[in-house]
Amino acid sequence: MAHKLDIDALLARLPLFRNLDAAQLALMARASQQVRVAKHQFVFHRGDPANGLYVVAVGGIKLAIPSPSGQEKVIEFFAPGQAFGEAVMFLDKPYMVQAQALEDTLLIWIDKQDIYAAIDHDPSFAKRMLAGLSLRLHALVQDIETINLQNASQRVISFLLKQPREGDQVHFPFNKNVIASKLGLTPETLSRLLHQLSAKNLIRVDGRDVQILDPEALEAQLYGS
């Protein structure tokens, strides 16, 4: 029963549930289940039915489109506090993407019926949900923009500039294969481009750590060339 308490506390901290009253929250907690996924393990595959949504409690998840040729296109990453799988749940369609743990991860799973109940009970929950989906839509449109309107080098630069920075330091959250896929590049191309940027003294790369030497010059590359 210690488990249940954990879930309660976790849920209460999630942005999605912030406005639920105690009773509603308790209901959610009772309906939800913990799911543990080891690194590299799949949460679901393309084609699986979607009966609920997941919230990341601890760890990290990547959503990707599998391709017949074995490679995959990474769509999005999810960190603790973020929900995924809702969109497909509302459509009664099977997943078109696969979810895989990037590290050992603890997920909360909530059944569709309970989500619907919460929507009926609390309009502000519905709004929160709408805002969540809108945010994702926004991000996807941005991705399409990046893929279509920017060349490989500009995509890498935008990505670098979008990453959270500590001083001038950026740290890749995942290995470069995954980053490359997110950017719609091959690992080889990413490697070459990072090398080029280093050669121009715009950045300095050390494994997953990147030092942004000249942010202005980098930004300029997005328009200039």
In sequence order, the 6+-apart residues with CB closer than 8 A to the CB of 143 are 75
- Rounded Cα distance between 75 and 27, Å, is 32
Cα-based angle 37, 43, 46 (whole degrees, multiple of 5) = 160
- Rounded Cα distance between 110 and 99, Å, is 16
- Kindly state whether residue 9 participates in binding a copy of itself, applying the rule CB under 8 A: no
Q: Which residues of 130-156 are buried (b: 16+ CB within 10 A; e: fewer)?
A: eebeeebeeeeeebeebeeeeebbbbb
Q: Is 212 helix (H, G, I), strand (E, B) or coil?
A: strand
> Judged by CB under 7 A, which of 189, 204, 214, 215 binds DNA?
189
Token digits of residue 89: 């749940």
Nearest-approach distance from CB 196 to DNA, in angstroms: 9
Nearest-approach distance from CB 137 to a copy of itself, in angstroms: 4
Of residues 59-118, which lie at the interface with a copy of itself (CB under 8 A)?
Answer: 65, 67-68, 71, 73, 75, 86-91, 93, 96-97, 116
> Judged by CB under 8 A, which of 36, 131, 151, 200 binds a copy of itself?
131
Q: Is 20 helix (H, G, I), strand (E, B) or coil?
A: coil
Of residues 114-173, which lie at the interface with DNA (CB under 7 A)?
Answer: 151-153
- Kindly state whether residue 27 participates in binding a copy of itself, applying the rule CB under 8 A: no
> Judged by CB under 7 A, which of 30, 127, 162, 195 binds DNA?
195
Residues in contact with DNA by the rule CB under 7 A: 151-153, 175-177, 184-192, 194-195, 205, 207-208
Residues in contact with a copy of itself by the rule CB under 8 A: 65, 67-68, 71, 73, 75, 86-91, 93, 96-97, 116, 119-120, 123, 126-127, 129-131, 133-138, 140-145, 147-149, 184, 223
